[in-house]
Structure 1
């Protein structure tokens, strides 16, 4: 069974996303909504990882795949400055959250095949929160884009 590959990838992706939310929160502290919401979203990712623990204990975890770290992009090790920097940092978060989202989808399909109610419950909660994270990121990027791309110089 290859579910362990996706569980390992998912845990690392959630960890990376949490770290990245915290990085953007710290780097864009002058934007109160970004600062506080990114902290909240990072805690959600931490909680997702906690919820995965019993599932990982049951099915195992293959940690040989480095996808989340590779897709995390070196650029999120520090935040960019200014309006365009905020927009690009939010876009990086969106890409990583998209990886998390599609990975939850793959794990959900495995949970259906296994008829694993506990896993389906975990996926349901975490996938819904990840979808909300994506919606917020998209909304915040739409809000930031006019100033960053037209007004700022």
Structure 2
């Protein structure tokens, strides 16, 4: 049988894209805080989406439950987009913070008679999402300035 493996003695150092791969690796290693913020924003968005069922107000306030589901999925989608674009979506961190502010005031606007559980849940989740949006924007700006 013929040997079709084409063994060569070249090394990875001879690869034409090695410099670009090293630059990309250095860039990703320097954005550790931003990557952590991506993950926290994603988790906060997913919690917001399921919070009406975990705090048990989905039956008493369907409008607020739908609001939290939509806003939570939007935050999670933005966080997923942040992770995929790696620094090209810095301006959207303001949208995450705006959604956080909306979640804080939503119980009084969307729900007719919000109870303490609804209000407390939305205020905590909204504040966390707002702070994480600001944190994400800050870490990305810091990583961009460090370049």
Query: How high is the TM-score relative to the length of structure 2?
Result: 0.54
- Preserved contact between residue 101 and residue 127 of structure 1 (Cα < 8 Å): yes
Structure 1 distance, partners of 2:118, 2:45, is: 17
Cα 1:45/1:29, change in 2 over 3 Å:
farther
Task: Encode CA deviations 1:2-58: one digit per residue, 9 max, x unaligned.
Answer: xxxxxxxxxxxxxxxxxxxxxxxxxx8542222233112211221222222333332
Residue in structure 2 matched with residue 146 of structure 1 by the alignment: 145
Residue in structure 2 matched with residue 136 of structure 1 by the alignment: 135
Q: How many residues align?
A: 110
Rg (Cα) greater in structure: 2
- Preserved contact between residue 112 and residue 120 of structure 1 (Cα < 8 Å): no
Specify every segment of 5 or more residues in structure 1 that has no aligned partner in the other structure, as ranges. 1-27
Structure 1 distance, partners of 2:109, 2:40, is: 29
Specify every segment of 5 or more residues in structure 2 that has no aligned partner in the other structure, as ranges. 1-26
Query: How high is the TM-score relative to the length of structure 1?
Result: 0.52
Higher helix share goes to which structure?
A: 1
Structural RMSD (CA): 3.6
Residue in structure 1 matched with residue 95 of structure 2 by the alignment: 96
Structure 1 runs (4+) deviating above 6 angstroms are 66-69
